């Protein structure tokens, strides 16, 4: 399943299965942007998503997120949903660890040496 096929919470869980083990809170990440179905204009986002926490950004914009990172139990932010509360538009941002260029170069060099 690729990021563009994620529509439901279950789709998101299966997409991220196993990434908690590899993604760390301080990783540099790649971002995938996915349009989601809109909610009715001027409605309460919590009526449509009872799983995620919400934080107001500026007037008319809210971000929904997992909200479970703590000082003692640090976890990566795997996704967030931007919501224009005036129009109802929702946009999901998916985060996945971006490979460290130095580690990737070493890995590719090692593969090259093994195949020669």
For residue 68, what pLDDT is reported? 67
Structural domains of the chain, count: 1
Give pTM, 2 decimals: 0.62
Which residue range forms the structural domain that includes residue 16?
A: 3-115
What 88-91 contacts at long range (C-beta under 8 Å, 24+ apart), as own/partner pairs, is 88/38, 88/39, 88/40, 88/41, 88/42, 88/43, 89/38, 90/35, 90/36, 90/37, 90/38, 90/39, 91/33, 91/34, 91/35, 91/36
Encoded tokens for 83: 């919501």
**pLDDT of the residue at 20:** 46
pLDDT at 7: 58
The low-confidence residues of the chain, meaning pLDDT below 50, are: 2, 18-20, 114-116
Per-residue pLDDT at 17 = 53
User: What pLDDT does residue 62 have?
Assistant: 94
Cβ pair 37, 49 in contact under 8 A: no
């Amino acid at each position: 399943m690729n990021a563009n096929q994620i529509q439901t919470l279950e789709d998101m869980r299966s997409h991220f299965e196993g990434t908690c083990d590899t993604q760390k809170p301080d990783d540099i990440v790649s971002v995938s942007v996915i349009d989601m179905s809109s909610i009715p204009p001027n409605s309460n986002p919590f009526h449509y998503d009872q799983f995620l926490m919400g934080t107001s950004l500026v007037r008319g914009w809210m971000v929904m997120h997992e909200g479970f990172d703590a000082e003692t139990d640090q976890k990566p932010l795997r996704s967030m949903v931007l919501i224009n509360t005036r129009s109802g538009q929702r946009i999901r941002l998916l985060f996945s660890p971006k490979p460290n260029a130095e580690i990737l170069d070493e890995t590719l060099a090692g593969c090259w040496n093994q195949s020669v």
